[in-house]
A and B are shown apart, each in its own frame.
Chain A
Amino acid sequence: MTGAADLRRTPLDGVHRALGARMVPFAGFDMPVRYTSELEEHRSVRSGVGVFDLSHMGEVALSGADALAFARYALVSDPGTLEPGQAQYSMACTPDGGIIDDLIVYRTDPGYLVVCNASNREVVVANLQALAAARDHDVRIDDRSDATALIAPQGPRSAELVGALTDLDLSALGTYRSIRGQVAGIECLVARTGYTGEDGFELFCDATDAVTLWAAVMAAGERYAIQPCGLASRDTLRLEAGMPLYGNELGLDVNPFEANLGRVVKLDKGDFVGRAALAAVEAAGPSRRLVGLVMTDEGIARHGYPVMDPDRQADPEPAGAVTSGSVSPTLGTRIAMAFVPAASAEVGRTWEVMIRDRRCRAEQVKLPFYRRPRPPQ
């Protein structure tokens, strides 16, 4: 049993409590699940700006003469293609191609910054350390997670908000780019990244500056009716955007090709962990695939619910399973992602989700469910 006393707290814990947030255990942290209404928080990010405390996430810096060679070996993407200030979505896989974590790797010069899921931080760090030792690479792996806070203003008004707090030229900061500079007088790594499907920023700062930076963001956001946003809205936002969540869509028993992330895997970059296994999956094609579902019958599909193939009525075995499901506050529909046999997957076809012993029809749709109206700039 993990009691509340055993949970870690982010540097913004007191701020969340003062705001009346409802706290829940998440990845070993006591985290805000919502402040007022998760639907309102969701809508604030789609229509204006909302801000998340993501200080629980892992930040691991890679430095040393072999940092790039090491990152290319440890991750499935190719960080060698990153220009200074660029970032890319990536994954660390096991030798058999299972996903250890999905993460973002930033070229920060000097070195690289890997931002991983809070729930996987220890595993990711241990994995990197073991690989570095085995490879005899000149690389320093510095887990800065505890000393780093992460505050993420997200939404169509987030550029205006952050722009009002900095002299940095944000119009020159494209998606998946980062730059160092001051925000509200605080040294930050300002990244144009997020997990909401909206334009947005992730501001990495020293943990001791978190309360000051949060207050500055909230004050500047007042004119945009900024909402502090919790984990509940973060989950529906990423689900609408068709983004995978580790533990739901991704895991050690899932390979990137099954999760539609084959484009991230650079098989031609030379040797890397998982290469042989992933090359075999690519050659054969994945046996199952992650798809989007919109419920056409009543009910909400949830994580773990069986998915049945109505074309195989005689088969009592589920064809697949739901990985995530909820309402889509933006679209007004009930949406889900699910693994189904790749050979049967087809946009427009009907699947049946078992909801409390009832077969509820759902239409397979193209992912993502929601795409923001137009990209920034």
Chain B
Amino acid sequence: MLPTDRRYSKEHEWIRPESGEGVIGLTRFAVDELGDIVYVELPAVGSTVSQFASFGVVESVKAVSDLFAPASGEVVAVNEALRTSPELMNTDPHDAGWLCRIRLTAPAELDALLDAAAYGELTGVE
């Protein structure tokens, strides 16, 4: 089941709104495509990210992939646990494997994203 408390981008990031902020992560579909994740490069706290622009990099054993921000904002926290335990993205991509938290600068951008049903349809995942 895809969590319904958040929105999804076609680039396979999710964002869970939380009182003017948004927690961002990579979907299980994307993580399963990538394989075992061994390294994550996250933006610095205080930096800004723009919707659909690259804000970091995730590396599996085999491949390097860009992370694309599902919304614009200022980074207020990153998941420090991923530095030593990037496998959290594999084991719990929708919760403990979160990437970063941003202060949304254009909350209306979220309307351009998919809901769980539409993202599920896109990826063939219920």
B57 close to A327 (CB less than 8 A): no
List of B residues within 8 angstroms of A233 by Cβ: 61
A287 within 8 A of B: no
A326 close to B64 (CB less than 8 A): no
Inter-chain CA distance A83–B19, complex, in Å, is 76
- Interface-forming stretch among A31-39, A60-68, A117-125? A31-39
Inter-chain CA distance A233–B60, complex, in Å, is 12
Given A37-B36, A299-B39, A300-B38, A327 contacting B64 (CB threshold 8 A): no
A232 close to B39 (CB less than 8 A): no
Inter-chain CA distance A291–B64, complex, in Å, is 22
Q: Which of A22, A300, A329 contacts B59 (CB 8 A)?
A: A300
B35 close to A327 (CB less than 8 A): no
A235 within 8 A of B: yes
A32-49 interface (Cβ within 8 A of B)? 33-34, 37-39
* A30 → B minimal CB distance (Å): 16
Inter-chain CA distance A232–B61, complex, in Å, is 7
Inter-chain CA distance A334–B59, complex, in Å, is 12
Q: By CB atoms of chain A within 10 A, which of B32, B57, B61, B62 has the most?
A: B61
A300 close to B39 (CB less than 8 A): yes
Q: Which of A38, A235, A299 contacts B36 (CB 8 A)?
A: A38
Q: Chain A binding site: helix, strand, loop or mixed by DSSP?
A: mixed
List of B residues within 8 angstroms of A334 by Cβ: 39
B61 close to A236 (CB less than 8 A): yes
Q: Which of B36, B57, B61, B90 contacts A356 (CB 8 A)?
A: B57
A177 within 8 A of B: no
Given A38-B35, A300-B38, A232 contacting B62 (CB threshold 8 A): yes
* B56 → A minimal CB distance (Å): 10
B61 close to A326 (CB less than 8 A): yes
List of B residues within 8 angstroms of A235 by Cβ: 61-62
Inter-chain CA distance A39–B62, complex, in Å, is 11
Inter-chain CA distance A30–B65, complex, in Å, is 22
Counting chain B residues whose Cβ lies within 8 A of the other chain, the interface size class is 10 to 19
* B63 → A minimal CB distance (Å): 9
A327 close to B62 (CB less than 8 A): no
Inter-chain CA distance A327–B38, complex, in Å, is 7
Q: By CB atoms of chain A within 10 A, which of B38, B39, B62, B90 has the most?
A: B62
Q: Mark B27-39, 1 if CB is under 8 A from A, else 0.
A: 0000011011011
Q: By CB atoms of chain A within 10 A, which of B33, B35, B36, B57 has the most?
A: B36
A288 within 8 A of B: no
A232 close to B38 (CB less than 8 A): no
* B21 → A minimal CB distance (Å): 27
List of B residues within 8 angstroms of A327 by Cβ: 38-39, 61
Q: Which of B35, B59, B64 contacts A34 (CB 8 A)?
A: B35
List of B residues within 8 angstroms of A39 by Cβ: 36, 38, 61
B64 close to A33 (CB less than 8 A): no
A302 close to B35 (CB less than 8 A): no
Q: Mark A299-315, 1 if CB is under 8 A from B, else 0.
A: 11010000000000000
Inter-chain CA distance A39–B61, complex, in Å, is 8
Q: Which of B35, B38, B41, B57 contacts A33 (CB 8 A)?
A: B35
List of A residues within 8 angstroms of B38 by Cβ: 39, 300, 326-327
In the complex, the chain A residue whose C-beta lies closest to that of B63 is: A302
A133-180 interface (Cβ within 8 A of B)? none
B7-41 interface (Cβ within 8 A of A)? 32-33, 35-36, 38-39, 41
Q: By CB atoms of chain A within 10 A, which of B33, B35, B41, B64 has the most?
A: B35
3 tightest A-B CB contacts, nearest first = A327-B38, A39-B36, A38-B61
List 19 A-B residue pairs with CB atoms under 8 Å apart, sorted by A's residue number: A22-B32, A22-B33, A34-B35, A37-B35, A37-B36, A37-B90, A38-B35, A38-B62, A39-B36, A39-B38, A39-B61, A232-B62, A300-B39, A300-B64, A326-B61, A326-B62, A327-B39, A329-B61, A356-B57
Q: Could you list 17 further interchain pairs (A-B, Cβ under 8 angstroms) beyond the known A300-B38, A300-B64? A: A22-B32, A22-B35, A37-B35, A38-B36, A38-B62, A39-B36, A39-B38, A39-B61, A232-B35, A233-B61, A235-B61, A236-B61, A300-B39, A327-B38, A327-B61, A329-B61, A356-B57
